[in-house]
Amino acid sequence: PDGLLYLGLGDGGSANDPGGNGQDRSTLLGGILRIDPSPSADAPYTIPADNPFVDGDGRDELWLYGLRNPWRFSFDADTDDVWIGDVGQSAVEEIDRLPFDRAGGTNLGWNAFEGTRRLTDAPAPDAVPPVFEYPHDGRCSVTGGYVYRGDDVADLEGAYVYSDFCDGVVRAIVVEDGAVVQQRAFDVRVPSLVSYGQDADLELYALSLEGTVLRLADG
């Protein structure tokens, strides 16, 4: 939304993040980074001056932290809110939603929390809980998508579309005032649904590891 480059990094691997990278602001792991890709005098990119930790409280590139594996994150084309599908460890998958202008510096809780479930006794100051979570009931790994702002599927307007890699069902939630007010599961299954894409008309595409790209449309 601001012309800068955002990158999502996992916590570095190993179950339950034994290195505590998710809560360690001195590492880039387990965070979303924010940089200006224009080179500076001594580096191949530039640190935005208003990044939240440039005062020495964490890595300069870090925008928010406390993530296990942000797969994937996107910005609402209408409101600029950031939505993150954060893959859980063994029990809970979560979706985070943050207003863009207040997202910088946010702690999303991993590895102290897996969703809203306490996982370790690690301190997690001011951790923000997910807006939505679901258990591993035949599902295993959230695939984050987009808030739908296209024209092809009118009754999806404003809904966040996502899936799970293991069941491949296209799903959507509607959030109002910070709470989920509607959940939907469509009669559409995409095997190995690994990502979503959005085109210039804000229509959505589902990507399968089996080699297909499918466009969401009415009917």
Q: What confidence score (pLDDT) does residue 56 get?
A: 87
Separation between Cα atoms, residue 174 and residue 172, nearest integer Å: 7
Q: Which residues pair with 166 in a beta bridge?
A: none
pLDDT, tens digit (0-9, with 9 covering 90-100), for 68-107: 999 999 999 999 999 999 999 999 999 999 999 999 999 9
Amino acid at 29: L
Separation between Cα atoms, residue 213 and residue 207, nearest integer Å: 5
Q: Is the pLDDT of residue 210 over 90?
A: yes
Separation between Cα atoms, residue 123 and residue 60, nearest integer Å: 22
Return the higher-pLDDT residue of 42 and 75.
75
Separation between Cα atoms, residue 207 and residue 132, nearest integer Å: 23
- 79's CB contacts (< 8 A; 6+ apart) are 99, 100, 147
| 202 band by pLDDT with thresholds 50, 70 and 90 | very high
Q: What confidence score (pLDDT) does residue 55 get?
A: 84
Task: Please provide the DSSP assignment of 30-80 as one string.
Answer: TEEEEEB-S--SSSSSB--TT-TTTTTTS-TTEEEE--S-EEEEEE-TTT-
pLDDT, tens digit (0-9, with 9 covering 90-100), for 124-156: 999 999 999 999 999 999 999 999 999 999 899
Separation between Cα atoms, residue 84 and residue 72, nearest integer Å: 6
| 164 band by pLDDT with thresholds 50, 70 and 90 | very high
For CA atoms 103, 75, 149, 193, the dihedral sign is: negative
Q: What confidence score (pLDDT) does residue 160 get?
A: 98
